[in-house]
Amino acid sequence: MTQARVLLSGTNELSSIFVGANVLIKKIISNEIKKATFETGNLARGRVPVITGRLQGSISATYNERMLKGVVGSSVKYASTIEYGPNNEYGPNDNIPGSRTGFKPYLRPSLAIAIKDIDTNISKALEKSGI
């Protein structure tokens, strides 16, 4: 079970737009979500505090093109403690190894950086393609 993750998704928001939409439009948007997903993973691995490297090494990024859905996260038990703090929505995590580094968000700031220009990038790609 994933203990900490961020989700990039366009499924619900874009599905109505994609009914009968140009295949090129779908591909452009899919490429931008995919790029942001893997960039988020790379940035998160660089931002996460490292003691043993276990959390850093566990950060994974996956993308589902059909669902337009990217997921970045970690299944390490203390991942949510580092991201959200010791008493977070996933419950208190006082006696686990990751609490030694303290609260230091790494996923959410990485996501914010990765998607900062996604709308501009999509607009530029659409313009470049002549759409």
Is the pTM value of this prediction over 0.75? yes
Mean pLDDT, all residues of the chain: 81
User: What six digits make up the tokens of 53?
Assistant: 């490297």
Distances (CA, A) of 125 to 21, 94, 122, 130: 16, 47, 5, 9
Between 58-67, 100-109, 120-129, the lowest mean confidence (pLDDT) is in 100-109
pLDDT score at 98 = 47
Nearest to 58 by CA among 32, 36, 80, 84: 80
Mean pLDDT of 78-92: 73
Residues in the chain: 131
Q: What is the pLDDT of residues 23-65, one digit of tens each?
A: 888 889 899 999 999 999 999 999 999 989 999 999 999 999 9
